[in-house]
Structure 1
Amino acid sequence: MNKRYLIPTLLFLCAGSILWLSSCKKINEATELGDDLIPPVDNITTFDTTLAIQAFNNIFDLTNDSTRSTAADEQYVGLITNDPLFGRTDAKLFFQLKPPFYRYAFNQTEPDSLLLDSVVLVLHPTNVYGDTTVSQTFNVYEIDQSSVFKSDSAYLIRKPNQFAYNNLLGTRTFFPRGFQDTVRAFRDTTPYQVRIRLNDAFGQRLLNYDSVGVNGAYNSDTAFQKKLKGFAVESTNGNAVVGINLTGANTKLAVYYKWKRPQHTAFDTATVAYFNFTSVYGAGQANIVTRDYSGTSWASAANDEVEDNQIFIQNTPGTFAKIKIPGLIGLNNRVIHRAELIMEQVYNGPTDSLFYVPGSLFVDAYDPSISKYRTVPYDLLMTSTGGANYSSFGSYPTVAKDANGNTIRRWRFNLTRYVQHVVNGKLPIYDLRLSSPSYVIETYGIPGLVTDGTIAIQPLTPVSVTRGRVRLQGGQPLNNPQRMRLRIVYSKI
């Protein structure tokens, strides 16, 4: 709250102490709006009003979403085949694992001194989104040499069919749960592993490569990539996606083998060599996630020209909603103590626990003067450390109950300063956008000022793609207590 309102606010609180006691329900509702000091709603000096919302479902596509995957991001692989609200999700993972150094060699450079035991691709799982009681089948392929896959590129998450892969190296069917259980393998006893045995022919190939000469596979990173472009992992069945930490200690290619000591005739020494995802030699990665909404509730509601009673928000790559607040037009000047855009989840039964809500939502504004989206002026604020006030802005939900006692999530976005400048005639009325992005790159600042410009990547916490979706009540019907709405607590001037 502006300092110049603090003294009048305190006077209102003192003078209205009797009204406070007799109107506790209204007062509690007002102070629930946020941590700022808000006068009691007494309908004498302080009032409240609720403005209707118009909401429209829409979808991101390649023309309006440039989200790219980086190695530091949590990656997802798997297949969701039965989400009743949002349909099908297919998450594929592409990456490179490389020797620890070049020139690299196994214990002996002569191939006939090495004997393959097995070769295993190990992935480091971090979480599961979806139904863990349905089995998943992960297939591992080799990326074709003809593919454009590169180690120095960040690839779009939502652009399918970017990379060719054909050579099936291995497959594993499992239930995506119990990753915290300890796995016991040769020289490797740790939890959090998905182990996929690859075929012996591929393992023998790795042993046969040498590091001698300019064309030796282990002579340099360039030479190695000409022999092994990378791996592609996809799922052929299941109802969940698995989060993978590419940079984790348990993501590796394990080559188990025996070797002969000099002057020995028997393969008597067992060992293991690890290839890892490493930034030293620029290991490449891409996480490609595609959605199919055919036959879903979202598909039947998605029409940008018709106001929707229910709003469907899915994390990147996903959906968004356009929000209009026509009641702001002609709203006369007043002191805005609090203005909040309130929205509530519509309960969807047991599937809400499988396909849970996003960790955060985000509201921004379309500025027609620059034909771009911008952060909400005055209310979304950058911090000195490069983040933003996502918590006080309202990006994170609170737990609530609907009329039937079901546990739901509620969001309250603080638009107080924006609305104040609208009623003062200092800002136009923007169309708003509601989404669940993993990060934001857009115009930030106060329109018309020199400081107005594009912000750097600002991650929302928790940062994620792929997981999280929610169905919200739209702005209709007006008699629905869960309807999306803008509540304003104000004083007259």
Structure 2
Amino acid sequence: LDRNPSVRAYYSNEYLPVYEQELGNLTFSGRPKSKDFANDTVNTTFNSWPQHLRIRLSDEFGTRILNAAEDSLSNNYNFTRFFKGLYVTMDEVPSSSMACIYYFLLTNEYSRLTVYYHSGNSSSPQSSYKVFNVKDESGHYNVFESFNFEGTHPSLYQQVVEGDTTGGDSLLFISSLSRTASRIKIPYLDNMKSFGKRIAINKAQLVMYADTTFSDTDVLYPSVKVGLQLIDPETGALSNLIDEESNALGGAYVKADNSYVLNITRQLQEIISGGVTNKDFKLVVAGSAILGTRVVIRGPGRSEKPLKLIVAYTVLEE
């Protein structure tokens, strides 16, 4: 990196400046889920390591660290000002069908920068190495680029880029990593207030189904969980549903029928009772900041397995 991070948090579409010189590269074919653990380890001089990515950096980079001024290496603060960090990225691929996503646990005990060096005179050099571990307090974040959704499904492009959301009646696209979410409006909930009597919501569930024509659910597994957030009509700020705060929201993927069920009983009860206003919902992938998953949901206009709200209620006697 060419600049120290100046804030504690960055959005996933923010880039920090980097030097143009490449420090190292690697072409590899990963097998992170191989059951043959023994054959997937890498034998080194010092240890036998589990599955990991190892990139050989240039000697010039290591020499720069070894030749740094003494005060630059005297403590962690000075060192992080001298060595601002690394930017690890991938080359562009010819087509989206060749792309993939790998997860690397940076805070794992094996995540590190190792500098190997020789000391002593030329006739009897002593080999040694210095390890710089990536710890929990080490700053790191991910950057994602959607490339204006070029080459995506026509309905997704129409909804996101062109702003025509009529296609959402058939298909809803939600994905993680700062890409897409869906806005759900339930405008007629307030009509239940006109019943003239008190209403008790026994159960309210937002039920939706993954459209399996877009992926093989055994290979390209849909998002394991979806979630709902409330959208403030004035500011656009997001907040949790009452059901989320009581850990009752649900939203886990059910493979048997490719469904998701979100329990919004308490939220609807408060709307009907007048305790809160009826706000739009934002449908998102749970854990979207760290998980590279997505799912295509069958919209409310589909003839089979549409997105729907199921409400069971009781009209109370006065």
User: Please, what TM-score do these two structures have when normalized by structure 1?
Assistant: 0.54
Is the contact made by 2:158 and 2:165 (CA closer than 8 Å) also made in structure 1?
no
Paired position in structure 1 for 2:59: 200
Q: State the distance in 2 between where 1:284 and 1:372 align.
A: 26
State the 1:400 CA deviation: 2.6
Q: State the distance in 1 between where 2:256 and 2:87 align.
A: 42
Cα deviation 1:217-267 (Å, max 9, x = unaligned): 32344543454322111100451122122221111112223333xxx7623
Distance 1:490 1:154, change over 3 A: closer
Paired position in structure 2 for 1:256: 116
Matched, 1:313 2:174: yes
Distance 1:306 1:277, change over 3 A: same
Q: State the distance in 2 between where 1:350 and 1:365 align.
A: 29
Q: Which has the higher helix share?
A: 2
Paired position in structure 1 for 2:107: 247
Is the contact made by 2:178 and 2:289 (CA closer than 8 Å) also made in structure 1?
no
Distance 1:368 1:234, change over 3 A: closer
State the 1:492 CA deviation: 3.9
| Among 240, 244, 262, the residue aligned to 1:380 | 244
Distance 1:268 1:226, change over 3 A: same
Matched, 1:186 2:45: yes
Cα deviation 1:136-176 (Å, max 9, x = unaligned): xxxxxxx22xx3x32763221122x3322312111100012
SS of residue in 2 equivalent to 1:168 = coil
SS of residue in 2 equivalent to 1:418 = helix
Is the contact made by 1:337 and 1:489 (CA closer than 8 Å) also made in structure 2?
yes
Distance 1:371 1:246, change over 3 A: closer
Paired position in structure 2 for 1:412: 261
Return the letter of the residue paired with 1:417.
R
Matched, 1:273 2:112: no
Is the contact made by 1:320 and 1:434 (CA closer than 8 Å) also made in structure 2?
yes
SS of residue in 2 equivalent to 1:217 = helix
Paired position in structure 2 for 1:330: 191
| Among 272, 277, 299, the residue aligned to 2:157 | 299
Paired position in structure 1 for 2:284: 435
Query: What is the percentage of aligned positions where both structures have the same residue?
Result: 24
Q: State the distance in 2 between where 1:191 and 1:241 align.
A: 19
Query: Once structures 1 and 2 are overlaid, which stretch shifts more, 330-339 or 422-431?
Result: 422-431
State the 1:352 CA deviation: 4.6
Whose RCO is larger (CA < 8 A, sep 6+)? 1
Return the letter of the residue paired with 1:374.
S
Is the contact made by 1:322 and 1:433 (CA closer than 8 Å) also made in structure 2?
yes
Aligned length: 296
Q: Structure 1: any 5+ residue segments left out of the alignment? A: 1-142, 383-388, 402-407, 439-462
Matched, 1:172 2:26: yes
Return the letter of the residue paired with 2:159.
A
Q: Which has the higher strand share?
A: 1
Paired position in structure 1 for 2:83: 228
User: Aligned-pair RMSD on alpha carbons?
Assistant: 2.8
Is the contact made by 2:230 and 2:280 (CA closer than 8 Å) also made in structure 1?
yes
Q: State the distance in 2 between where 1:336 and 1:275 align.
A: 57
Paired position in structure 2 for 1:491: 314
Q: State the distance in 1 between where 2:240 and 2:77 align.
A: 43
Q: State the distance in 2 between where 1:484 and 1:395 align.
A: 13
| Among 207, 219, 233, the residue aligned to 2:74 | 219
Return the letter of the residue paired with 2:132.
F
Q: State the distance in 2 between where 1:225 and 1:366 align.
A: 39
Q: State the distance in 2 between where 1:421 and 1:228 align.
A: 53
Q: State the distance in 2 between where 1:368 and 1:350 align.
A: 34
Is the contact made by 1:192 and 1:250 (CA closer than 8 Å) also made in structure 2?
no
Query: Once structures 1 and 2 are overlaid, which stretch shifts more, 483-492 or 363-372?
Result: 363-372
State the 1:427 CA deviation: 3.9
SS of residue in 2 equivalent to 1:483 = coil
State the 1:268 CA deviation: 4.7
Matched, 1:155 2:10: yes
State the 1:469 CA deviation: 0.2
Is the contact made by 1:252 and 1:274 (CA closer than 8 Å) also made in structure 2?
yes
Return the letter of the residue paired with 2:305.
Q
State the 1:344 CA deviation: 0.6
Query: Once structures 1 and 2 are overlaid, which stretch shifts more, 192-201 or 364-373?
Result: 364-373
Q: Structure 2: any 5+ residue segments left out of the alignment? A: none
Q: State the distance in 2 between where 1:487 and 1:413 align.
A: 10
Q: State the distance in 1 between where 2:10 and 2:216 align.
A: 31
Is the contact made by 1:317 and 1:465 (CA closer than 8 Å) also made in structure 2?
no
Distance 1:286 1:208, change over 3 A: same
User: Please, what TM-score do these two structures have when normalized by structure 2?
Assistant: 0.81
Flag the structure with larger Rg. 1
